[in-house]
Amino acid sequence: MLETSRLTLKVATLQEAPFMMELNSDPEVIRYTGDTPQSSILEAETVIKERLLPQFEKYRMGRFSVYLKDGTYIGWCGLRFFSEKNEVDLGYRLMKKYWGQGYASEASQICLKYGFETLKLKCIIAKAMPENIASIKVMQKLYMTFRGFHNDPTDPQGFIRYDITADEFKRCEK
Ligand SMILES: CC(C)(COP(=O)(O)OP(=O)(O)OC[C@H]1O[C@@H](n2cnc3c(N)ncnc32)[C@H](O)[C@@H]1OP(=O)(O)O)[C@@H](O)C(=O)NCCC(=O)NCCS
């Protein structure tokens, strides 16, 4: 579990499947993600069981569920390890009514700290579609560096890539 002044980040549980489905079925939320809308709680449960939880078990990292201090679920944020590329990716996705209040940046900052200080990672990347201004703003607020187009055939829409190293993170925290 990770804590910030306004947020609590927890490992996902199956109880969150209905919230995940609500989040992932909103066309505005998934507009710039390349995902298709989730249409059932079963689908959300499968993602939690088969994608989210194994990441925590194998690599001690994953997409955390993000809660306000009053216990309201607002979305997810966290790290994901892509073993085939040996790369750790920061991602975030919040319910629309919680956009624009600095939550994604706050949650991401504690995930970067966890990645660098606890997991001792050397570099963390993040990707976004060029049209996704809010996401790009988050990467910039985290002092990540723009690295151009992400040349990966698994990202069909041409995502742009940012990254930050452990040394850069340490310098920016001061
Ligand atoms: C991307 C996302 C997580 C950002 O969450 P958030 O909590 O609103 O982010 P923050 O408030 O921390 O920062 C967003 C910044 O972008 C700015 N912003 C948002 N939309 C903008 C726009 N259209 N033009 C200019 N700036 C914009 C905000 O003003 C804020 O900057 P500021 O703090 O300097 O005012 C949220 O929009 C979301 O869930 N989107 C859908 C899922 C998604 O696209 N995820 C990323 C995939 S790469």
Residue 84's pLDDT is what?
Answer: 87
* pLDDT (mean) for 83-99: 95
Report the range of poorest mean pLDDT among 32-36, 94-98, 159-163.
32-36
75, 101 contact by CB (below 8 A): no
What distance in angstroms lies between residue 64's CA and the mean position of ligand 1's atoms? 18
* pLDDT (mean) for 7-18: 95
Residues whose beta carbon lies within 6 Å of some atom of ligand 1: 29, 32-33, 92-94, 99-105, 128, 132-135, 137-138
| pLDDT of 154 higher than 80 | no
Strand segments, DSSP code E, in 34-132 are 63-68, 73-82, 87-94, 123-128
What domains can be seen in the chain, in order of their start residue?
2-173 (3.40.630.30)
Q: Which of 99, 125, 133, 162 to mutate to test the pocket of ligand 1 (most atoms within 8 A of CB)?
A: 99
Q: What is the mean pLDDT of the chain?
A: 94
Residue found under tokens 């996705």:
93
Backbone dihedral region of 165: left (phi > 0), alpha (psi from -120 to 50 degrees) or beta?
beta
Tokens of 37: 């809308």
pLDDT digits 0-9 by tens, 39-81: 899 999 999 999 999 999 999 999 999 999 999 999 999 999 9
